[in-house]
Structure 1
Amino acid sequence: MAGRALLRIIFADQSDSRKLTLDSGIPATVEELHTFVKTSLQLKEDFRLQYMDVDFNEFMNLTSVSEIQDKSTLKVIYSPILSNIEPSITLYTVDSFDKTSITGSSEPLIPESSIASCCSDDMVYTSTPHPSPEAQASQLLSWPTVFVVPKLTYEAEFELHLKNAEFETTGTYFQPGLKLKGVILDGLAQEMIKFTKYPKDYQCEEVAAALTRAHPCLGQLGSKTGFGGWKQSLKYKMQNYRTKLGRLGHPEILVNSLKHKKTGQGKAAANIKKPRKAEVNYIPLHPKGETTESLENERIALLSELKKRDNEVVIKAKMEKTFSHRRLEIVEQRPLIGDFKCRWPALFQQSEVNAEFLRITTSPLQSKFMWQLDHFSDKLLKIFKTKGGVKGHKIKEALAISDSFENIHIKRGCILRSIAIYLNEDPDSFFKEYQASASEDAKRDMANTVMGIYTLQRDVDGQPEDVGIVIEGNIVMDNLGSVIVGFVMLLGLIYALDLSFPDNLKHTFEFMQKVVMNLDGHKLNGKIESLKIKLFD
């Protein structure tokens, strides 16, 4: 693994610069570096990278990582034309811009003499509207590392300012009235709804703690933490917000309503579906101007585009456009995997699995997974070597395979198996190996497999002839090259298809989600928490 590297990141307007630490060294490709910069700095817009060229002493587009080294300077150049929200301009001629739209009068808004003296006959006024609430709400943001309390109304901010000053002087806590408390909770809820419709307990606690840090006078003496009452009030407020959104027809709320109960089940809601694995965009809204029918037509057109060569750009655009339609179908209808693959074959490609995972979690999949696993690998190997007994012997056998090969993917696969063994799981029940000569037997076995990764080994040199993924007895992806790539793709498909982790390897998947990918790692299984403590010790 490469040594530690530092990069200086500046932005196009040079108003901001940051230091970026790469613990595993500079990535092997520009794409991996781009992903790491986007993830580490939490950049939401599309951008390209430039480096300072020593020959011309100017910033040039970065096309190869060989152009940079430790302590190089990179510039982030945003690409507004690739933004999700396309700016639009409304043009008005001078003749048509009158008082009618404002005052109801037919008199010109600007005297004709003034117009003639200051502009030509073809002068136009421009108006650039703000993004619509529908466009803003269609894609959420990931939960922030530090929650920032939003600005409230002027009256509320002024009153809290006075009470904070009084608290600093006398130490007297402030008990806000119902009106002010409602304003505070409304402001917090409107900020929280930007990140999640169903906040978890720790998220409500973080918001309540941030409120009392921003306004110390709102601390609560009767609470053990000093903000327990605010935390509970936030939970009720978010419940009320969800009720309002449900009445307005928000799809993520409607899918959990009593209207979706099964026949004969009484008043209990069936198939309650909520984000459970740190999904940010669980069921987003349709793009502006699109309906279920229009997006279904896009899906049908996508099937035709798949038959064309070198058509990745069009396919990616249509997959992005139909994301909300696809998610609603998955979560609401729970289709069989075989049927769903026939409807959405483009999703079962490596590039689209990565793209779908990014849409759902706002976090990159393959590049981040490999980067983080390599980052933890040395410490994991040290932990594994200290393990004795039967478990230690199995781990030693699993790691011995990597000593015979220089392939980094084989090493990663051995570490993956060792993690499963360490967590008291049997990797052989999930990672199935077959001889290529016995392919018919392998197919019969895979037809009865709920979820797993298979490897077809050659009889001659022991190298894999094929590595693929099986879900519900269907081979959904093949020719993946290695077990570790198969595992990453399966993790992405579990998110894309809203599936549960397999029972025979659920702790390993949870470790990868919460520790390696750092997605919702606040509540861990005891075995995983023990390994995480040793990993960060």
Structure 2
Amino acid sequence: MAAQNFLLHVHVSTDLVRKMTLSSRPESVDDLKIMIKEKFKLDFDFSLSYEDPDFDGQLCSLVDIEELPQKAVVKAIRIESDDSSVASDDTIILPHAMTPERAERWNEFILSEGNATYVRTGKTLKFSRGCKAYPSDREVSVVAEALVTKHPCLKEPGSQTGWYGWKNSLKFKIGNYRTKLKVNFLPNYPRGEDTTSLEQLRLQIVDEVKMSDKNLVHITKLMQTTFALRRKEVVNDDLPVAEILERWPALKIICAEFHRITNMNLKNCFYAVLDRHSPHLHNLFRKKAALTGKVSEVLGQLFRIYDLQVRGLHFLMPEKDTASDDPDIDDIPLRLLSVGANSRDVTFFCPEKIAVVVEGNIVINVPIMAHACVMLFALIYALHLSYPKELSNTFDFIQKVLMGLEDGKLRPRVLSLKNDLLAME
């Protein structure tokens, strides 16, 4: 039986990969090292690792030559001989580049190889488990340790490890960067479209909205196609709300826009969670009212109104009252205005209509307080606005507790309310 050749793809540095063919399996790992040294004229000591096909290409140290696949990707990892190195056994030191140019990271190398393959064959890149968008705590520790090892001047005095602060800094930096990418979501233009073509579709939307017999299906389709252009204008151009609504009149179909941004059904999610928490919110509101001496017969009427719990959030997390008898909406950034109600009467919670005001513009009128509240929340998302300072706790509760969006650190009052609700379930 004819001897089978061994085909190796040898990474001799971060930016240099060589091909090597062996007529037979080497006698030992040391023999393979000698062959690699002689063929590629390497003048440093190294260990060998290979991509194990049984574990989706994860790196595995080559200790037994019998483990070497017939066709393998092998990496020569330089062994540091500097006695002053403080690297631990857990730290993987990538081999030094053999060229003066800045060494590429392995991920960048994988991407460049994947792009080359895509150009040649059209095949997309298959990521191994080693390529993670969410690194573990240990992986961040390894990076922080390697940073201080390579640059000793960054070592933290008084720290047991010398890099613990850098580890936390990297975690926060990754988290902040990911949050910005989520909030400032800018999708690519649809294939075959550019700014000019999407602008023409935007003008079609304006014309469609002006028609008395509107084709809502066609408008929705055009809004979906022009989503990338709209997000670019909202996030990057920072246009006034009045101008955005003038350019995109169909943006008032706010639930559809919210779904495009978050992939969530706004009303279904909001009301489902609100219904689940309603009994607990009622109980908490009664306790809060009793402690502050505000219990009265009128509470019995208020609790029968469906959207009381949304209004009650403002009392559970006390914030500055922004109500006024005769508000001037010209300079109002964000507000819900009750129309046809007396604020001292119980009908305040059941007005004729609620006006949603954004930057002095009445965007939409709705009949129910809870619906107006969720519409304002969706408009803040769609128009890339900040929460009003005096109502930041209320909207933070809606966003992170009711809607489950961007589940991160909660404000103290919001966290307290969330814990109270969970304790009552």
Rounded Cα–Cα distance in structure 2 between residues aligned with 1:287 and 1:228: 43
Aligned-pair CA distance for 1:382: 2.1
Q: Equivalent residue for 2:196?
A: 293
Rounded Cα–Cα distance in structure 2 between residues aligned with 1:502 and 1:299: 30
Q: Equivalent residue for 1:92?
A: none
- The TM-score, its normalising length taken from structure 1, stands at 0.48
Post-superposition Cα deviations, 1:460-500, rounded to whole Å, max 9, x if no partner, equal x956333221111111112x111111111110000000000
Q: Is the 8 A contact 1:209 1:227 kept in 2?
A: no
Q: Which has the larger radius of gyration?
A: 2
Q: Is the 8 A contact 2:208 2:214 kept in 1?
A: no
Q: Equivalent residue for 2:92?
A: 176
Q: Equivalent residue for 1:417?
A: 311
Aligned-pair CA distance for 1:315: 0.5
Given the alignment, which residue of 317, 322, 325 partners 1:429? 322
Rounded Cα–Cα distance in structure 2 between residues aligned with 1:235 and 1:189: 22
Q: 1:238 to 1:507 in 2, by over 3 A?
A: closer
Q: 1:175 to 1:415 in 2, by over 3 A?
A: same
Rounded Cα–Cα distance in structure 1 between residues aligned with 2:306 and 2:131: 47
Rounded Cα–Cα distance in structure 2 between residues aligned with 1:359 and 1:160: 46
Report 1:230-245 matches (<5 A). Answer: none
Rounded Cα–Cα distance in structure 2 between residues aligned with 1:397 and 1:490: 31
Q: Equivalent residue for 2:48?
A: none
Q: Equivalent residue for 1:317?
A: 221
Residue 385 of structure 2 corresponds to residue 499 of structure 1: yes
Rounded Cα–Cα distance in structure 1 between residues aligned with 2:230 and 2:315: 36
Given the alignment, which residue of 235, 250, 256 partners 1:331? 235
- The TM-score, its normalising length taken from structure 2, stands at 0.60
Rounded Cα–Cα distance in structure 1 between residues aligned with 2:389 and 2:319: 10
Q: 1:284 to 1:415 in 2, by over 3 A?
A: same
Aligned-pair CA distance for 1:448: 3.4
Rounded Cα–Cα distance in structure 2 between residues aligned with 1:485 and 1:335: 26
Q: What letter matches 2:233 in structure 1?
A: E
Post-superposition Cα deviations, 1:50-71, rounded to whole Å, max 9, x if no partner, equal xxxxxxxxxxxxxxxxxxxxxx
Q: 1:373 to 1:237 in 2, by over 3 A?
A: closer
Q: 1:513 to 1:162 in 2, by over 3 A?
A: farther
Aligned-pair CA distance for 1:319: 0.4
Residue 371 of structure 2 corresponds to residue 465 of structure 1: no
Q: Equivalent residue for 2:206?
A: 303
Rounded Cα–Cα distance in structure 2 between residues aligned with 1:223 and 1:320: 54
Aligned-pair CA distance for 1:457: 1.6
Aligned-pair CA distance for 1:331: 1.1
Aligned-pair CA distance for 1:317: 0.5
Given the alignment, which residue of 382, 393, 396 partners 1:510? 396
Aligned-pair CA distance for 1:233: 6.5
Q: What letter matches 1:454 in structure 2?
A: L
Q: Equivalent residue for 2:372?
A: 486
Post-superposition Cα deviations, 1:180-231, rounded to whole Å, max 9, x if no partner, equal 9954797689652xxxxxxxxxxx5xx314969xxxxxxxxx999x999888
3-state SS in 2 of match to 1:287: coil
Given the alignment, which residue of 331, 339, 351 partners 1:448? 331
Q: 1:420 to 1:189 in 2, by over 3 A?
A: farther
Cα RMSD of the aligned pairs, angstroms, is 4.2
Report 1:195-234 matches (<5 A). Answer: 204=134, 207-209=135-137
Q: What letter matches 1:294 in structure 2?
A: S
Aligned-pair CA distance for 1:348: 1.1
Aligned-pair CA distance for 1:347: 0.4
Rounded Cα–Cα distance in structure 2 between residues aligned with 1:310 and 1:231: 54
Q: 1:173 to 1:235 in 2, by over 3 A?
A: farther
Q: 1:484 to 1:160 in 2, by over 3 A?
A: farther
Post-superposition Cα deviations, 1:425-446, rounded to whole Å, max 9, x if no partner, equal 24x525x7x7xxxxxx66xx22
Report 1:157-172 matches (<5 A). Answer: 157-159=58-60
| Structure 2 unmatched runs, 5+ | 1-50, 65-87, 97-103, 111-127, 141-158
Aligned-pair CA distance for 1:503: 1.5
Report 1:27-426 matches (<5 A). Answer: 154=53, 157-159=58-60, 174-178=90-94, 182-183=105-106, 191-192=132-133, 204=134, 207-209=135-137, 274=180, 279=183, 282-308=185-211, 309-349=213-253, 353-387=254-288, 391=292, 393=294, 399-403=299-303, 405=304, 410-412=305-307, 414-426=308-320
Aligned-pair CA distance for 1:177: 3.0
Rounded Cα–Cα distance in structure 1 between residues aligned with 2:209 and 2:374: 24
Aligned-pair CA distance for 1:176: 2.3
